[in-house]
Amino acid sequence: MRELPRLGTSAPESYSGVAYTMSRNWGSSLEASVMPESASAPRRYSLAGQVRTALSDERGVSVGLQYRHYDARSGLRGGPYGDPLGSTREHEFAPSAVPGLFSSPSYEVRLRYQHSASSSFGLALGRDLETLTPGLGVGANGERQLMFTGQHWLTPSWGLSYDLLSDEPGGSMRVQGLRLGVRYRF
């Protein structure tokens, strides 16, 4: 079991899981987590499973499923004048979350291909309520969300990661985005 603080929150997310090796080339894992409620998000429960196989010494494929449920009854207590965070609008950088916004489950099916010891590519299809639609401040809870991911280690310590996202939050709108990251191994 491990506890990790989420970026920008004081509430840690607790994980617990098991990994099982079925044979020399096949393995599986199951992980559960809970994140307590905070001022800006309700309590979240998640369950994830993955099956992976080795194609050669450095290459492999994995398929996984993740399910998250948000407890709409927790967190986001109303402050003065019905403001969920009890703050004043003059000092906010973004709109506050609204109670019940994250009231439905999210899911994600993931496919990952390990090309070499230093490169992997992935594809994820699902519905993730934690992705916020830029400029609107509403949950991206449309029917489909497609993401292409990659991770490449340039040296044993330094790597790059990227996510290309296409989301349909509802109606005729489509949101596309790019997330870039630099990774460092200790």
**pLDDT tens-digit readout, 38-71:** 776 778 899 999 999 999 888 999 999 999 888 7
| Total-model pTM | 0.64
Give the per-residue pLDDT at 171: 62
Q: Show the tokens assigned to 110.
A: 């993931």
Who contacts 151 (Cβ-Cβ below 8 Å, separation ≥6)?
Answer: 119, 120, 159, 160, 161, 183
Most distant CA pair in the chain, distance: 61
Q: Please tell me which residue, 168 or 13, carries the higher pLDDT value.
A: 13
Q: Is pLDDT of 1 > 90?
A: no
Residue 136 has pLDDT above 70, yes or no: no
Arithmetic mean of pLDDT, 127-139? 52
**For residue 28, what is the domain's CATH number?**
2.40.160
**Collapsing DSSP states into helix, strand and coil, what is residue 143?**
coil
pLDDT given for residue 109 in this prediction: 93
Number of domains in the chain: 1
Segment 125-133 shows an average pLDDT of 65
DSSP lists the bridge partners of residue 161 as 151, 181
Which residue(s) pair with 166 in the sheet?
Answer: 146, 176
The Cα–Cα gap between 185 and 159 comes to 8
Higher-pLDDT residue of 64 and 165 is 64
Domain carrying residue 173? 2-184
